[in-house]
Copies of this chain bind each other. A is one copy, B any other.
């Protein structure tokens, strides 16, 4: 079987993601990590992010704009996406486990999870007249 081996790069990627609350894209993380590891490759960032997702140590966010984003907080929670600047922020709203059961009643299959993205205008964009 395939056993996991330590890698400085992977540790750095995870540490970097944990230190942030802005849900960076793979490319944004790549730029950040290159300050510490100037010749890390973008493929290494992607590979490790996907691996960490598989291990359940981080989660991937697909919120409709271009690139996927990553979140070191794996507890169930929701996100708020600004339609103007694309910023994604955590929404400390209690997770609604019950809606899986509500959906189950109408679904043609077994429901076991859900994602919710809320869309609107963030405070910054509102104050700056939507940029």
Which of chain A's residues 20-69 have a Cβ closer than 8 Å to chain B? Answer: 60, 62-64
Q: Which residue of B lies closest to A92 (CB)?
A: B106
SS class, residues of chain A in contact with chain B: strand
Residue A116 interfacial (CB < 8 Å): yes
Q: Establish whether residues A109 and B125, one from each chain, have CB atoms under 8 Å apart when the complex forms.
A: yes
Assembly of this chain: how many copies? 2
Q: Establish whether residues B82 and A93, one from each chain, have CB atoms under 8 Å apart when the complex forms.
A: no
Q: How many residues of A contact B (CB 8 A)?
A: 37
Q: Establish whether residues B112 and A119, one from each chain, have CB atoms under 8 Å apart when the complex forms.
A: yes
Residue A103 interfacial (CB < 8 Å): yes
Q: Establish whether residues A80 and B93, one from each chain, have CB atoms under 8 Å apart when the complex forms.
A: no
Q: Give Cα A106 to B109, complex, Å.
A: 33
Q: Establish whether residues B100 and A118, one from each chain, have CB atoms under 8 Å apart when the complex forms.
A: yes
Binding site for B on A (CB under 8 A): 60, 62-64, 78, 80, 82, 89, 91-93, 96, 99-100, 102-103, 105-123, 125-126
